[in-house]
Amino acid sequence: MAALLLKVNELFCERDERILFENLNFDLHAGKILHVKGKNGSGKTSLLRILCGLYQEYEGQIDFLEENVQEVRDLYNQSLLFIGHHVSVKQALTPRENLNWYAKIHPQLDASLIESALSSVGLQNYEDVLCQNLSAGQKRRVNLARLFMFAKERFTNSLWILDEPFTAIDVDGVEKLERRILYYIENGGSVILTTHQPLQIGAVVEQLNLDDWGT
């Protein structure tokens, strides 16, 4: 039986006097993908940020490996990779410098994989170009290269939280990302993601529709 990675209990969140969701419960086991669905403004991003620990204004409890996430925050942070809406890339640094910084502040990322990660997202030969000279899609790929830097020995009981990871990525790129996600979960990782594109990797995906939980 795979470990119970996340257990979300009675989650309640309101924003600007509107209840996004209440009494939200779900479990996520290791090796699974959870696809969070919902209309625009249904609270997908808020939920993902709450799960990362970036948004604190909620009620309810989140357990990571059966411990309250508040009490194992460091371990949780080091088992987590979050890709949000932001570019999350410094314009005045090169892709290599950006990823090097990531590898140092997030020990779950392996700096020795920078080269291969950049070529996996199709940015070979762009390692030392300033990001301000890259296109929007390429910057997005620099950010996504972190998925390819996640150290394999740390896949077990780790979690990727991906908010619209396929935005501004072409068809080939999406396919590559999906293959990477599949490889990751087959080796013990778990993923929570939002996307408006249909996922090709159907089998292991669980659904959570926020439209059913709000008011």
Partner 1 sequence: MAKKQIMPLWFYRLASPKYCYQITATLLPYFAAITLALLSIGIVWALLFAPQDYQQGNSFRIIYIHVPSALLAQSIYLTMALSGAIGIIWKMKIADMVAYACAPIGASMAFVALITGAIWGKPTWGSWWVWDARLTSMLILLFLYFGVMALYSAMGNSASAARAAAILSLVGLVNIPIIKYSVDWWNTLHQPATFTLTEKPAMPVEMWLPLLVMVLGFYFFFATAMLLRLRNEILLREKRTSWVKQLVSEL
Partner 2 sequence: MLLNQGIYSGNRDGFEVVHMIRAFWAELNRDLLLAFRRRGDLLNPLLFFVMVVVLFPLGVSPAADFLAQLAPGVLWVCALLAALLSLDNLFKSDYEDGTLEQLVLSSESNYMTAMAKAIAHWLTTGLLLALMAPLLALMLFLPTEAIPVLVISLLLGTPTLSLIGAIAAALTVGLKKGGVLISLLVIPLYIPVLIFGASAVQNATLGLPVAAHFAILGAMLIMSLVLAPFAIAASLRMSVSS
Which range, of 34-42, 89-97, 180-188, 190-198, touches partner 2 by CB under 8 A? 89-97
Interior angle at CA 51, CA 19 and CA 180, nearest 5: 125
Which range, of 18-26, 53-61, 114-122, 188-196, touches partner 2 by CB under 8 A? 53-61
Among 85, 168, 179, 197, binds partner 2 (CB under 8 A): 85
Sheet holding 18-29, edge to edge: 18-29, 4-15, 59-64, 67-68
> Running DSSP on this structure, what letter comes out for residue 34?
E
Q: Give the span between the Cα atoms of 156 and 65, in whole angstroms.
A: 12
Q: Is 87 in the site for partner 2 (CB under 8 A)?
A: yes
Residues in contact with partner 2, counted by CB under 8 A, come to a total of: 42
> In terms of CB distance, is 42 or 79 closer to partner 2?
79
Judged by beta carbon distances under 5 to 8 A according to partner kind, the member of partner 1, partner 2, none in contact with residue 61 is: partner 1
> In terms of CB distance, is 6 or 149 closer to partner 1?
6
Range 139-168, binding partner 2 (CB under 8 A): 153-154, 156-157
Q: Give the span between the Cα atoms of 125 and 131, in whole angstroms.
A: 13
State how far Cα 143 lies from the chain centre.
Answer: 11
Q: Which of 127, 153, 149 is nearest to 138 (CA)?
A: 127
Could you report how far apart the first and last alpha carbons of the chain are, in Å?
A: 35
Q: Is 54 in the site for partner 2 (CB under 8 A)?
A: yes
Q: Is 101 in the site for partner 2 (CB under 8 A)?
A: yes
> In terms of CB distance, is 55 or 101 closer to partner 1?
55
Q: Give the span between the Cα atoms of 195 and 174, in whole angstroms.
A: 11
The footprint of partner 2 (CB under 8 A) covers: 3, 52-57, 65-67, 72-75, 77-80, 82, 84-93, 97, 100-102, 104-107, 130, 153-154, 156-157
